[in-house]
Every structure is written in structure tokens, then in C-alpha cells.
Amino acid sequence: MTPNPQIPAGEDCMLVDTSQAPKQNDLCYSFNQEDYTLDCLGEVLQQLDDRGDLQEGVVFYEGEAVRHAPSYYFDVDDLLDGMRDRAYDDAGEWADTFPDLPKEKVAELKSLVSNWLDSNLTITFFTVRNERKVEVTAEMIASHKADPLTPGA
């Protein structure tokens, strides 16, 4: 399988700031299918070249980095259930209907908390989907050799 043609080998890498708003479909790469980084294909080829492993057939993995907004990890029902449980612990059956909120107020609470989370928290991690095995090709090597990355850049 070949890597995404939108990132040619040897092209200058663009650093990805993980503190920015969530972006989908940023490509990331791994040599072991576990430790993914947001390097570009040129950086992968440079690393292989630096360690003497840049040859046809060498395998690496490409995937899509998925970064969610902080509010992705928030569930308003969990918040209300926690309140309900604490109220029950405190007042027993007298608190059975607490908190009694109409759907519109639950939606308003969800929106308020979600907006606050997205404005005040930064996601510094990502997950990977659509992983695919990639083998180094002669074309990748030729392109990299014609325009290698500057070491340490």
C-alpha cells in the first residue's frame, strides 16, 4: 500500500501544533504500529536514512490522527447522575427526583460546560484510525535523495 500522495517524500515537514482546534485526517507515522508521531513522510524517510535503513520494502505505518475537542470527553448525564447519587446518599429517597431538569435546561447545561471545556482545556494527545502498512518504494527513495530534509530541522 502506498502512502497518501498529498505528502510527497522529501517535502518540508509542517509541524502540527496539537494545542490547536481539533483537526481530522492529519497523517501520522510509526515504525512499530504503536508509537505514532505527527511527522511528515519526509521525516520518516529521513529517520530511515539516518539509521541506514532506507531501502525498498522497509515497512512503516501511516494512519490518521484523530484529536477530539475537550468536550468530547464530557457527558452531561454523568454529571447529573453523580449529583443524583450524592443527593441520594445525603437525603435518601427524598432526593429521588433530584435534579429535575427539563430537556432544554439539560441541553443548556451541556452547552455551557462544553463551551467552557473547549475554551479552557487543551488536548495534547491523539488516537489513530485507518492505519495502513506502507512499504518504502524506489520512487520514495529517489524523491527523498533528490530533496532530503535538513538534519535537525
Each residue's pLDDT tens digit, 34-72: 999 867 888 899 999 999 999 999 999 999 999 999 999
* Same domain assignment for residues 98 and 87: yes
Residue 26, pLDDT score: 86
Question: Does one domain contain both 134 and 92?
Answer: no
**Are residues 111 and 131 both part of a single domain?**
no
* 43 & 113 share domain: no
Asked, for residue 33, whether it belongs to a domain, the answer is yes
Query: 123-136: per-residue pLDDT in tens?
Result: 988 999 999 999 99
Strand partners, 117: none
Residue 93: pLDDT above 80?
yes
Q: Does the structure show a pLDDT above 60 at 19?
A: no
Q: 31 with 63, same domain?
A: yes
How far apart are the two ends of the chain, measured CA to CA in Å? 28
Closest CA to 76 of 51, 113, 23: 113
pLDDT reported for residue 12: 38
